[in-house]
Structure 1
Amino acid sequence: MLHFIAIVTPEEINRKVLQWKFYMRDQFGCKVALKSPAHITLISPFMMPDNLQPGLQELLQPFASREQHFSIQLKNFAAFKPRVIYVDVLPSPRLTEFKTALETTLLQSNRFPVKKEERPFHPHVTIANRDLHKKDFPLAWQHFQQINYEVTFTANAFALLRHNGQIWEIIHSFPLGN
């Protein structure tokens, strides 16, 4: 099954992001982003048999307990033109360090089918992705460029998500610190 690891935003942010995802669905037929809660991907989707899940949780639990909470600031919107629109995550050395430490922990264990990410880490909260048609991008992008949005939240956990064939479900949350 497909899995990924992410920081899931608090519920009040998820509700706001959901409104924008519904706008994209209603205006442009974009549905893919509706299949997951608002999140910042730390480890991209990877195929893993369900029987490896307990071992992964055993590895991630002590990692999480050693890590401290940190702030994440979301501000306005950005895009990977011409297919993706997202809430922008302001640059954060702490978030980058956290992602790198998590990836290193997984790769060093050499027990799970996680690959080293070749692309630079570009944290974001997706509003619309693969199913946004190139021809619709300018109009959708114009809409989001007019919205001011700024919020800060505390990352106090990260989650393991699994695709159930329909949507992404949080199957385990790992609180940070003690």
Structure 2
Amino acid sequence: MLHFIAIVAPDNINQQVLHWKHYMRDRFLCKVALKSPAHITLISPFDMPENLEPAMQELLLPFAAQQQGFSVHLKNFAAFKPRVIYVDVMPGVALNELKTALETTLLQNNRFLIKKEERPFHPHVTIANRGLRKEDFPEAWQYFQHLNYETSFTANTIALLRHNGQVWEIARSFPFGFKR
């Protein structure tokens, strides 16, 4: 089964992002991004047999308990041309440190098929991705590049998400132990 690990946005932000995902579905038939809640990916999708999920949870629970909550700032939109449009996440040391520590912990464990990410970490909240046709990108980007959006939230959990064959669902959330 496919899994990934992320910071899932609070419901009020998820609802706003859902509004934009629905716009993309209605205007451009772009539906792929509707299959997951608004989130910032920390560990990209990986294959993990269902029987290893308890072992993953046993690893993530103490890892999360050692983390401190931190502020995540979302501001406006950006794109990975010509297929992805997203809410931009402002750079933050705490978010980068969390991703690095989580990746290191999982790679050291050696039980899970996690690959070290070669691309630079570019946190974002996806609105449209591979469901967006290249020829529709300019019109879609024209709409989003002129919108203003800004909000913050406190990241105080990480979530293990599982693909159920249709959509991504939260298998379990792991609360951080400390607040900054």
Which TM-score tier does this pair reach, normalised by the shorter chain? over 0.9
1:63-78 matches, cutoff 5 A: 63-78=63-78
Q: Do structure 1's residue 103 and structure 2's residue 103 form an aligned pair?
A: yes
In the other structure, the counterpart of 2:41 is 41
Q: Which amino acid aligns with 2:127?
A: I
Q: CA deviation at 1:145?
A: 1.0
Q: Give the whole-Å Cα distance in 2 for the aligned partners of 1:48 and 1:123.
A: 23
1:96-135 matches, cutoff 5 A: 96-135=96-135
Q: Give the whole-Å Cα distance in 2 for the aligned partners of 1:176 and 1:61.
A: 9
Tell me, what secondary structure is at the counterpart of 2:132?
coil
In the other structure, the counterpart of 2:56 is 56
Tell me, what secondary structure is at the counterpart of 1:102?
helix
In the other structure, the counterpart of 1:174 is 174
In the other structure, the counterpart of 1:89 is 89
Q: Any idea what the Cα deviations from partners look like across 1:6-54, whole Å, max 9, x if unmatched?
A: 0000000000000000000000000000000000000000001000000
Segments of 5+ residues of structure 1 without an aligned counterpart are: none
Higher mean alpha-carbon deviation, 26-35 vs 110-119, is at 110-119
Aligned residues: 178
CA RMSD of aligned residues (A): 0.6
Q: Give the whole-Å Cα distance in 2 for the aligned partners of 1:163 and 1:8.
A: 15
In the other structure, the counterpart of 1:142 is 142
Q: CA deviation at 1:93?
A: 1.1
If the length of structure 1 is used for normalisation, what is the TM-score? 0.99
Q: Give the whole-Å Cα distance in 2 for the aligned partners of 1:77 and 1:114.
A: 29
Q: CA deviation at 1:131?
A: 1.1
In the other structure, the counterpart of 2:161 is 161
Q: Any idea what the Cα deviations from partners look like across 1:61-101, whole Å, max 9, x if unmatched?
A: 00000000000000000000000000000011110000000
Q: Which amino acid aligns with 2:160?
A: L
Tell me, what secondary structure is at the counterpart of 2:24?
helix
Q: Do structure 1's residue 2 and structure 2's residue 2 form an aligned pair?
A: yes
Q: Any idea what the Cα deviations from partners look like across 1:125-145, whole Å, max 9, x if unmatched?
A: 000000101110010000001
Tell me, what secondary structure is at the counterpart of 1:69?
strand
Q: Give the whole-Å Cα distance in 2 for the aligned partners of 1:150 and 1:88.
A: 9
- Identical amino acids, percent of aligned pairs: 74
Q: Which amino acid aligns with 2:81?
A: K
Q: Give the whole-Å Cα distance in 1 for the aligned partners of 2:26 and 2:41.
A: 25
If the length of structure 2 is used for normalisation, what is the TM-score? 0.98
Tell me, what secondary structure is at the counterpart of 2:68?
coil
